[in-house]
Chains A and B, each alone.
Chain A
Amino acid sequence: MPNVLDIRRRIRSVRSTQQITRAMKMVAAARLRRAQERVINARPYAEQMMALLRSVAARTEDRSHPLLANRPVERILLVLVTADRGLCGAFNANLIRAAQAYLAEHRGVEVSLLAVGRKGRDFFRRHRVRMVGEHVNVFTRLEFAHARTITAQIIELYSSQAVDAVDLIYNEFKSILVQPLKVERYLPVRPIEPAEGQVLVDYMYEQPPEEIFASLLPRYVEAEVYRALLESQAAELAAKMTAMDAATNNAKELIDSLTLNLNRVRQAAITKEIIEIVSGAAAQ
């Protein structure tokens, strides 16, 4: 028979946990609003940049530039964007599972990992994966400068031909409830397919093409990485909000059932005492 004091103590502890989860939910909701705004504002540039690059890839006849060269893919750089912190439901677990599936799928090629976010790094550090770089604690104060550092590393690996392709795994932010996981190839750039009967003419270049491509490449990767980071941050906060909301509700249910239990036990104790008194009196 559980005693009344023990149950009271448990209720108190569940209630304080509930206060914490509720506070975390509020904080996530407040930060989400800002993150959402940032990602929505960053999308047009990243999308136009992607469109421009794909158009360039389709039109240009000079395919010698690394940006456009389709080398046989023997080594891939996989950029995995996870969160720095947990308590956001299955967010990180899903990303890590997707990365593992990716690794299993690409067993024939050499995959190196660039981990953005503590969770992904911690997981794959314990596994046999070639880790070429890690960027943790970027999400507390996410700036364009972070995208720039990550980009510098990607460009270095790609231009020196240490890798032949660059893929990215991250969570896209669709809405508070939907954050689809994305696996995308960023380099080499995939050319657009011309519509039926359309001929894509090469550009007139105001500057020598190599010059334009050389300055376009980092801008492109930068824009896409920045967008992916913002998407991931918004998705993480949305996942955290949902998870903390569920935790708060669970705590409430738990408190309700414990309270019911408490009352039952209290009742039982009172009933027992009355019976004792009554039977004591009857015995005299």
Chain B
Amino acid sequence: MVMDLPSELEFSLVTPDRQVVRESVIAVSIPGKDGYLGILPGHAPLLTELKPGEVSYTSAGITHYLAVSEGFAEVLPQRVIVLAQASERPEEIDLSRAEEARRRAEEILRQVESEAEREEARRALERAMARLEVAGRASRP
């Protein structure tokens, strides 16, 4: 039996304060907690937590990049939903703020002993790194 695979995915990315993306796309890449996941139409249902990183999606031949922080993603054959705590497009990222956040987190990691605070700082560092990485990206074919 031949299965009909959909040729496009409905991709939506939302954060508590806005809808960031809602588009028909042909491929999506998301930062799963255990590594990046590349998703094409017809993917089996999948549920994952996200770690801060880079989301990219391709629509109309152009690949777009976004920074996301912690969240979840639900993958269905015709749909990908990303629920993130925060997300920015490259042009929305405040470079100096991200840089400052990175320095602060590194400072804490160097000096502070308490494990809870270190964990908090590690997360902050991950978020800052994700932002810095995505800030340098431009949409491209």
Q: A52-B81, A52-B83 are contacts. A207–B49 as well, Cβ < 8 Å?
A: yes
Contact partners of B37 in chain A: CB under 8 A? 206
CB pair B46–A206 under 8 Å, yes or no, is yes
Interface centre among B14, B34, B44, B48 (most CB of A within 10 A): B14
Q: How many residues belonging to A are interface residues under a CB distance threshold of 8 Å?
A: 28
Q: Return the CB mask of B53-86 against A: 1 if under 8 Å, else 0.
A: 0000000000000000000101010000101000
Contact partners of A112 in chain B: CB under 8 A? none
A49 (CB) vs chain B CBs: closest residue: B83
CB pair A205–B19 under 8 Å, yes or no, is no
Contact partners of B45 in chain A: CB under 8 A? 59, 201-204
Q: Is B29 an interface position by the 8 A CB rule?
A: no
| A35-52 contacts to B (CB < 8 Å) | 38, 41-42, 44-45, 48-49, 51-52
Q: Which of the residues A48, A144, A205 comes within 8 Å of B47, measured between beta carbons? A: A205
**Size category, B interface:** 20 to 34
Q: A52-B72, A219-B83 are contacts. A44–B14 as well, Cβ < 8 Å?
A: yes
| A214-251 contacts to B (CB < 8 Å) | 215-216, 219, 223, 226
Q: Is A56 an interface position by the 8 A CB rule?
A: yes
A43 (CB) vs chain B CBs: closest residue: B19
A55 (CB) vs chain B CBs: closest residue: B74
CB distance from A134 to the nearest CB of B (A): 24
Q: Is B33 an interface position by the 8 A CB rule?
A: yes
Q: A204-B44, A206-B46 are contacts. A216–B72 as well, Cβ < 8 Å?
A: yes
Complex: how many Å from CA A171 to CA B124?
Answer: 36
Q: A201-B44, A201-B45, A207-B49 are contacts. A41–B17 as well, Cβ < 8 Å?
A: yes
A213 (CB) vs chain B CBs: closest residue: B47
CB distance from B133 to the nearest CB of A (A): 21
Q: Is B16 an interface position by the 8 A CB rule?
A: yes
Complex: how many Å from CA A96 to CA B96?
Answer: 49
Q: Which of the residues B18, B19, B72 comes within 8 Å of A212, measured between beta carbons? A: B72
Complex: how many Å from CA A202 to CA B16?
Answer: 27
CB distance from B90 to the nearest CB of A (A): 21
Complex: how many Å from CA A238 to CA B136?
Answer: 44
Contact partners of B24 in chain A: CB under 8 A? none
Q: Which of the residues B16, B33, B34, B48 comes within 8 Å of A45, measured between beta carbons? A: B16
Contact partners of B44 in chain A: CB under 8 A? 201, 204
Contact partners of A207 in chain B: CB under 8 A? 33-34, 48-49
A56 (CB) vs chain B CBs: closest residue: B47
24 contacts between A and B (CB under 8 A): A41-B18, A41-B19, A42-B16, A42-B17, A44-B19, A45-B15, A45-B17, A45-B18, A48-B83, A49-B83, A52-B72, A55-B76, A56-B47, A56-B74, A59-B45, A201-B45, A202-B45, A204-B45, A205-B48, A206-B48, A207-B49, A212-B72, A215-B49, A226-B16
Question: Residues of B with Cβ closer than 8 Å to A?
Answer: 12, 14-19, 32-34, 37, 44-49, 72, 74, 76, 81, 83
Question: Residues of A with Cβ closer than 8 Å to B?
Answer: 38, 41-42, 44-45, 48-49, 51-52, 55-56, 59, 144, 201-207, 209, 211-212, 215-216, 219, 223, 226
Known: A51-B81, A207-B48. 20 other contacts (CB 8 A): A45-B14, A48-B12, A48-B81, A49-B83, A52-B72, A59-B45, A201-B44, A203-B46, A204-B45, A205-B47, A205-B48, A206-B32, A206-B33, A206-B34, A206-B37, A207-B34, A209-B47, A212-B49, A215-B49, A215-B72
